[in-house]
Amino acid sequence: MSLQERAVITRNAIIRGAAEVFAEHSYAQASLSDIVARANVTKGALYFHFKSKEELASAVIDEQHKAVLEGAVIVAAMGRSALDTLVLLSVDFCRQLLDDVVVRAGIRLTLEGVEVGRDLRALYSDWVASTEGIIDRGIADGILRPVLPAADLARYMVGAFTGVQLVSEMLAERSDLLERVEHLWSLLVPAMVAPHLVEEASSVPAKLFAEFGVAGIRD
């Protein structure tokens, strides 16, 4: 194994160890000593890759954002309707929150408003903007109601999903996350879709969560 390959493995181990600590504790409570122990590396190795806890938190957030974008690419490649796409993106995000500690840690750090040397609001702005684009497509295709401003609906959907997953974490340690997000969609869909499609579209969330909720879209 080359030195470069070892460096990549060590860096990934540090990021994962940091994510495990950040996911369990607040950024303020997490210590570099805890991260070193969790990653099973030396302090020298950690400082070789990251100059500070702030820089390490930024790397965790970057990896979380990368994972979410990868899921979005996979969903987009399915070529599904705008409504299916919106639901499938939330299914994938749920699975990542449940299965990937880096994603859980990145979301927690972002919501804590950790100072990492850049404006983290851009991550949520990107999320809102991409959601707005899908909604616009749904309106153009006649699936979603044209009377709903896409920008307002996108902001509401991102906020609703964020709130649901936070409440699920607080009350049930996310054990009911899939169920709660599916329920959110059952409330949103009748208000979002064109009137003549309400009956047919109302079954979409349950079908997609049943099909992809356990295994995920990546398997």
The domain ranges of the chain are: 53-212
Q: Is the distance from CB of 42 to CB of 36 less than 8 angstroms?
A: yes
Mean pLDDT over 151-162 rounds to 95
- C-alpha span between 126 and 42 (Å, rounded): 36
Burial of 77 (0-12, 13-18, 19+ CB in 10 A): exposed
Tell me how crowded residue 127 is: count the other CB atoms within 10 A of its CB. Answer: 21
Question: Residue 54 is encoded by which pair of tokens?
Answer: 């702030």
Give tens-digit pLDDT for 95-142. 999 999 999 999 999 888 877 777 778 888 999 999 999 999 999 999
Give tens-digit pLDDT for 71-107. 999 999 999 999 999 999 999 999 999 999 999 999 9
Which of 114, 9, 6 is CA-nearest to residue 60?
114
- Record the pTM: 0.92
pLDDT band at 180 (very low <50, low <70, confident <90, very high): very high
Measured between alpha carbons, how far is residue 65 from residues 31, 54, 82, 102, 199 in Å? Answer: 23, 17, 22, 10, 35
Chain centre to alpha carbon of residue 181: 13
Supply the mean pLDDT for the chain: 93
- C-alpha span between 176 and 173 (Å, rounded): 8
- C-alpha span between 148 and 4 (Å, rounded): 52
Long-range contacts of 3-10 (CB under 8 A, 24+ apart): 7/49, 10/41, 10/45, 10/49
Angle subtended by helix axes 53-77 and 3-24, to nearest 10? 90
- Kindly tell me if the per-residue pLDDT of 216 is higher than 80: yes
pLDDT of residue 169: 93
Residue with tokens 């997609």: 208
Give tens-digit pLDDT for 24-52. 988 889 999 999 999 999 999 999 999 99
Phi/psi for 208 (5° steps) reads -70, -40
CATH 1.10.1040.10 assigned to domain 53-212? The reply is: no
> 79: phi > 0 → left, psi -120 to 50 → alpha, else beta; which?
left
pLDDT of residue 174: 95
pLDDT of residue 123: 84
Question: Residue 197 is encoded by which pair of tokens?
Answer: 């499609």
Mean pLDDT over 4-20 rounds to 92
What is the largest distance, in Å, between two alpha-carbon atoms of the chain? Answer: 63
- C-alpha span between 10 and 59 (Å, rounded): 14
Residue with tokens 């309400």: 198
